[in-house]
Structure 1
Amino acid sequence: MQPVPSNSHSWLFNLTDPDPARRRAALDRQAELIATWSAGLRWSNTLWYQNGRSSDFSHSPRLTAEYDQAEAMQRNAIAQTLYSVAGGFSRARYQELDDSASESVPYAVLFLQWEVGFQHEWRTAAPWSPWELKERILRGFIKAGPLGWDEALLDLVMAAVNREHWCEDRWYAALARRLDSPELRNLLAEAAASTDPLVRLRAGYVSAVLDDRSTAVTVASWRRWLAATDG
């Protein structure tokens, strides 16, 4: 298991702590930050309406100062949440990871682990959908590779195979190609022998994806594979 980073964001790892009290404290702290961000957003919107729905406040130094404060309030609050810290990895996936982006990798993994361990809290902890960020993070690992987090990502792939389908889970099949190993193949073979027919199908599809690298991992390819399997 990778060590928890020791920095100002390390408290975020309590979001997946098995101790309910520690997890609740982390959830409350993140909720306070999101509430502060929301207050800053409302402040910005109020000023925008007062200014005739324009962001040009150059005619009024007072409004300019207030608007700058409102925008800073939003930036400073959201920057401390897991959504922003983990998002640093997804934003960097289009380029080579620099040192600052690399620091966000453990939090990107944490974001995925949070969904697996505490799905309801993961879904309801923010006023926006978490699935877009989930997709961007998974696509980031598909592009960049596991970056030393092979074991944690392997667990996440197998969790997706062994549970009901959740939104954006399809990216785990593509990520499996980055994690291909005898261990993964053995785990998929075990899942293929499950008493749950849906688990058997998911394990079979991921195995097929590993065997044929030319197959694009899409909803369409999943449906074609299912049709061929049923046939």
Structure 2
Amino acid sequence: MGHGKGHGADMDDARAWDKRLAWAYGLIANDPAERAAALDHLASARRRTEEAQHRFNETLRMLQGQGVMYPYEDPALRSANEEYLWARSHSLPSGMWDRGHGEDLAEWPGLPYALLFLEWEARYPEEWTRHAKAWGTKEGLIRDLATDAVGQDPVARTKLIDLVEIVVRRAYRCKDREYVRIARVVDGDPLRVRLEGARRSENPWAQLHAGYVLWILDRPEVPNSRHVWRTWLADARQ
């Protein structure tokens, strides 16, 4: 992926991401035992994050109670904040929250983990909902990934096409409509062959969702709004 082309500091950043979150690949494993182990790791990481946040809040309240005028400059609070940020970066979904605005996502070393987080939601939605439900993070990542730069990365493009197919073949879940943005970025024969297969399948959800995505791909000027979807759906069911 993007970071694989870099060197020096870029590779150091990629290694840092792997050190923090490589365990998360177990969340999308086919083996239930491997997924269970990753879920246990996630539960521990989330617990550490919550404990660190609690210590930060308690430190802040203590300093404010002591009348400290600038508590955020106090070494104790700075230390508590660093501990919280460290714990947060080792967990999900919070590990996805610290990307700098304006950063080139195609070169972002966290890109594989953004894709992993979305793949987890797509392949194992019940486990995702039970252990790391974050609709805003899902929506934000999809929108951030819907760029030509990411879509031109061969590895990312393949993963994004997979995600669009998985999503159109299932019952609608919150923020799934955002995947139309991805479909528009990775539009081409590989995607359309998958969508046609879904549209011609016996799965009624796949027929509707794939049909709509194909329809809107042919109309780049049409907004992917709730109104457009409902109008298309009413026509399709006549």
CA offset at residue 94 of structure 1? 4.1
Q: What does residue 174 of structure 2 align with?
A: 167
Indicate if the aligned counterparts of 1:58 and 1:64 stay in contact, CA closer than 8 A.
no
The answer to which structure, 1 or 2, has the higher relative contact order (CA under 8 A, 6+ apart) is: 2
Is structure 2 residue 11 aligned with structure 1 residue 16?
A: no
Runs of 4+ aligned structure 1 residues displaced above 6 Å come to: none
Indicate if the aligned counterparts of 1:85 and 1:104 stay in contact, CA closer than 8 A.
no
Q: What does residue 142 of structure 1 align with?
A: 146
Alpha-carbon distance in structure 2 between the residues aligned to 1:41 and 1:35: 10
Letter in 1 for 2:44: E
Q: Percent identity?
A: 30
Is structure 2 residue 123 aligned with structure 1 residue 117?
A: yes
Where does the alignment leave 5 or more consecutive residues of structure 1 unmatched?
Answer: none
Indicate if the aligned counterparts of 1:87 and 1:137 stay in contact, CA closer than 8 A.
no
CA offset at residue 37 of structure 1? 1.5
Indicate if the aligned counterparts of 2:139 and 2:178 stay in contact, CA closer than 8 A.
yes
Q: What does residue 183 of structure 1 align with?
A: 190
Alpha-carbon distance in structure 1 between the residues aligned to 2:187 and 2:150: 11
CA offset at residue 64 of structure 1? 3.3
Where does the alignment leave 5 or more consecutive residues of structure 2 unmatched?
Answer: 5-13
CA offset at residue 33 of structure 1? 2.0
Indicate if the aligned counterparts of 2:192 and 2:214 stay in contact, CA closer than 8 A.
yes
Is structure 2 residue 61 aligned with structure 1 residue 49?
A: yes
SS class of match (2:74): helix
Q: What does residue 10 of structure 2 align with?
A: none
More helix by share: 2
Alpha-carbon distance in structure 1 between the residues aligned to 2:69 and 2:101: 37
TM-score (norm 2): 0.80
Letter in 2 for 1:125: H
Change (3 A) 1:82 1:21: same
Listed one character per residue, the Cα deviations across residues 10-67 of structure 1 (whole Å, up to 9, x for unaligned) are: 222122122333323322222222212111222222233344579x73588xx93432
Q: What does residue 78 of structure 2 align with?
A: 68
